[in-house]
Amino acid sequence: MGFVFLGLHKSTASRIVFRVSKELATRLPVFPVESTVLNRMKSDFFSIAGFPNVVGAVDGTHVKIQAPSADEHLYVNRKGYHSIHVQMICDANLSIINCVARWPGSSHDSRILRQSVVHEAFEGGAIPGILLGDSGYQLKPWLLTPFINPTNEAHTRYNNAHTKSRNLIERCFGVLKRRFHCLHGELRMVPERACNIICAAVVLHNIARELALPDVEGPNSVAVYEEEEVPEQAGVDQDGSGRYIRQMIVENCFSK
């Protein structure tokens, strides 16, 4: 997010950025629950790789920040730098339909999701559909992960379709961070203000998608593909219901 301030003192510009980003942060998208909207989202995902009933792809991304004065160790992620760990869910058109930007860098993807409103909504059946996540997430009936060790061609076809569909969230990160390059660099501010900047960028990203503005390209484009995190619980599916749903999808959609 680049700014040019003419004739303004640095402190004045800082206050403007703070107030505007704080206001924009209150306008984060709310995950849709209307059946017509969800059906359209499912159709969009199905057209990509034939994966049924998918309403979103979920993953986490890290935004680098300067070392905070309080709880500094909590913000050190597994790559050794200080960050905000941001959870995002996107639709098939790379619009962000959910964003959680408040966790320190040491937090794990699965923990952030577990303690989110979206998790509660899916668990309670308020959102009829499926999210796609990498193997760092716990397999659930509404959150499908790939087979870590596929044993047949159907599993491989499932994994290929899963990867092609889930990679939309990685592309979304790339589009977002190219448009707002500060998210790829370092936000030199306290975590609370950094979170406001991240949320403001998400709101503006969605406006750009709605207006069909061209994505930022060029020689300085940033590739931002996140490494898959090591599962906290090795993808534990406690009651087997996630495995059952995944296997039914394999048999119904990817066995031939």
Supply the pLDDT for residue 18: 76
Model's pTM, two decimal places?
Answer: 0.90
Average pLDDT over the chain reads 90
Q: What is the pLDDT of residues 189-224, one digit of tens each?
A: 999 999 999 999 999 999 999 999 999 875 444 444
> What average pLDDT does range 133-139 have in this prediction?
94
Is pLDDT at 231 greater than 60 in this prediction?
no
Q: What is the pLDDT of residues 9-48, one digit of tens each?
A: 677 667 777 788 889 999 999 999 999 999 999 999 999 9
pLDDT over 80 at 227, yes or no: no
Predicted confidence (pLDDT) at residue 170 exceeds the cutoff of 80: yes
Across residues 159-186, what is the average pLDDT?
A: 96
Higher pLDDT, 83 or 219: 83
The residue type of 51 is F
41-77 pLDDT, tens digit per residue, is: 999 999 999 999 999 999 999 999 999 999 999 999 9
pLDDT at 223: 45
Q: How confident is the model at residue 79 (pLDDT cuts 50, 70, 90)?
A: very high
Quote the pLDDT of residue 40. Answer: 98
| Per-residue model confidence as pLDDT tens digits over 106-128 | 999 999 999 999 999 999 999 99
Q: What is the pLDDT of residue 230?
A: 53
- Residues 200/17, Cβ–Cβ less than 8 Å: no
